[in-house]
Structure 1
Amino acid sequence: MSQIKQSAVRNRLLAALPPADFGRLANLLTPVSLPLKQVLLEADEPIEVAYFVETGMVSNLAYLVNGDAIEIGLTGSEGIVGAPLVLGVDTAPAGALVQMEGTALRIGAAAFRQVFNESEALRTWLLRYMQALYTQVSQTAVCNGSHSLEERLARWLLMAHDRAGGGGISSR
């Protein structure tokens, strides 16, 4: 297995790590494609792997009793799918579905836990990400509960645009 080079990594959490801390992860990460509509996590099921998203976008979904899903957050290159592992939880309360095809670096849950426990820098970055994710989910709840459909769509389009890696908005 070839080792992943930190200079080639597009996930912002991994790119921010000191080289020695990234080195602990490098041989444990496997590049994977994220096809559209691929389920990465099932709600209330054990988390077997985590994904450091490199490109594309993943929706975090909460499920209602009738089976309907509601998007509660988005993850792109700024984050990780399987975030409950950061908090020492082995199951995900929400599902995760690829909404924009892309790529990720996958790591097994046991290997993730080991490196998380060994690397203070990784813990620090991932806990900061958890705060950002908490803020995003909270803002999504407020927006969905108080804004018009047009305002909610505008927020979602801007978030999706950020994760698509788009530059400035074109007038064309």
Structure 2
Amino acid sequence: MSNAEVPLITNHLLNMLSDTDRRNLLQYCEVVELQFADILSEARQHYRFVYFPLSGFISLLTNLKGHKPLELGLIGNEGMLGATMALGVNFTPMQAMVQGKGTAWRITMADLRQFLLHCPHLQHILQQYLFVQLTQLAQSAACAHFHQVGPRLARWLLMSHDRAHSSSFYLTHKFLADMLGVRRSGITIAAGNMQQQQAISYRRGVITILNREMLLTMSCDCYQLGQDDYRNLLGEPVPQSADMKARRQALVQGTP
């Protein structure tokens, strides 16, 4: 990871702070690049840094001996990595791996701990986000146990689309199978069905969302439940990918 320029995309949790609190917090932060497959933290180890993603997204993975890692959650610019700090716990419950490259605000654990002593509002925001994250992790566990590969894949693509700020992102069938804990053949069949219905296109590891509304009809209810849990406590998440792309283009062109 290396320092990077601040992008136009922002982090929703930081946007909930007052201008003064946000400005004071960002004095302790640096913008870093997140590269695909970077490991940001290992399970059952102490955090060194906390990350507030701006673009790109992070997978939360659980590991069982003799099995491949299973993804239980995604973190994009609606959230943060290191929310257990809200409980005073500097301990990582799961492995965190970059799944979509992008950028993030990074702050040391020591600096964030010190800042929280003087900013109870951020403490409250992190506690709310941690509750939402816990409900989403529980929903993901139930989804993995009870739902078929197709609806689970549609849900996962929607969640990735929300966080990628692009309609296209790089994902191989093998990687998808590992993340969902299923056979690669199951992903191939489910993705092929989505291509036939022109919901997505897939070429050389690049998935492109062609029809988001169709993906919504293919997904299980778990996707919308997760959206509702977030919205009820933390408000409307940051704009979805297509909306953000339009905003960025408008800024480039100098239009409001």
- TM-score over 0.5 for the pair: yes
Matched residue, 2:16: 16
User: How many angstroms apart in 1 are the aligned matches of 2:9 and 2:75?
Assistant: 16
Matched residue, 1:160: 160
User: How many angstroms apart in 2 are the aligned matches of 1:157 and 1:9?
Assistant: 20
Contact 1:41–1:82 at 8 Å: present in 2 too? no
Contact 2:62–2:70 at 8 Å: present in 1 too? yes
SS at match of 1:81: coil
Instruction: Identify the range of structure 1 (158-167 vs 129-138) with the bigger mean alpha-carbon deviation.
Output: 158-167
Matched residue, 1:133: 133
Shift of 1:55: 0.5
TM (norm. structure 2) is 0.61
Matched residue, 1:147: 147
Matched residue, 1:170: 210
User: How many angstroms apart in 2 are the aligned matches of 1:49 and 1:135?
Assistant: 24
User: How many angstroms apart in 2 are the aligned matches of 1:106 and 1:31?
Assistant: 6
User: How many angstroms apart in 2 are the aligned matches of 1:87 and 1:67?
Assistant: 30
More strand by share: 1
More helix by share: 2
Matched residue, 1:120: 120
User: How many angstroms apart in 1 are the aligned matches of 2:86 and 2:32?
Assistant: 21
In the alignment, structure 2 segments of 5+ residues that lack a partner are 168-208, 212-256
Contact 1:9–1:15 at 8 Å: present in 2 too? no
User: How many angstroms apart in 2 are the aligned matches of 1:43 and 1:86?
Assistant: 18
Seen in structure 2, the aligned counterparts of structure 1 residues 67 and 144 have a Cα distance that, compared at 3 Å, is: closer
Matched residue, 1:28: 28
Residue 170 of structure 1 aligns with an amino acid whose one-letter code is: L
User: How many angstroms apart in 2 are the aligned matches of 1:165 and 1:132?
Assistant: 22
Residue 120 of structure 2 aligns with an amino acid whose one-letter code is: E
Seen in structure 2, the aligned counterparts of structure 1 residues 67 and 85 have a Cα distance that, compared at 3 Å, is: farther
Instruction: List, as ranges, runs of 4+ consecutive aligned residues in structure 1 with deviation greater than 3 Å.
Output: none
Contact 1:11–1:79 at 8 Å: present in 2 too? yes
In the alignment, structure 1 segments of 5+ residues that lack a partner are none
Shift of 1:166: 4.4
Contact 2:9–2:55 at 8 Å: present in 1 too? no
SS at match of 1:110: helix
TM (norm. structure 1) is 0.89
Residue 158 of structure 2 aligns with an amino acid whose one-letter code is: L
Contact 1:76–1:163 at 8 Å: present in 2 too? yes
User: How many angstroms apart in 2 are the aligned matches of 1:42 and 1:82?
Assistant: 12
Q: RMSD across aligned C-alpha pairs, in angstroms?
A: 2.0
Number of equivalent positions = 166
Measured against aligned partners, the alpha-carbon deviations of 1:94-131 in whole angstroms (never above 9, x if no partner) come to 01000000100000001111112211211121111111
Q: Which has the higher contact order (CA 8 A, sep 6+)?
A: 1
Residue 63 of structure 2 aligns with an amino acid whose one-letter code is: Y
Matched residue, 2:97: 97
User: How many angstroms apart in 2 are the aligned matches of 1:24 and 1:64?
Assistant: 41
Matched residue, 2:206: none
| Greater Rg by CA | 2
Shift of 1:65: 2.0
SS at match of 1:80: coil
SS at match of 1:43: coil
Shift of 1:68: 2.4
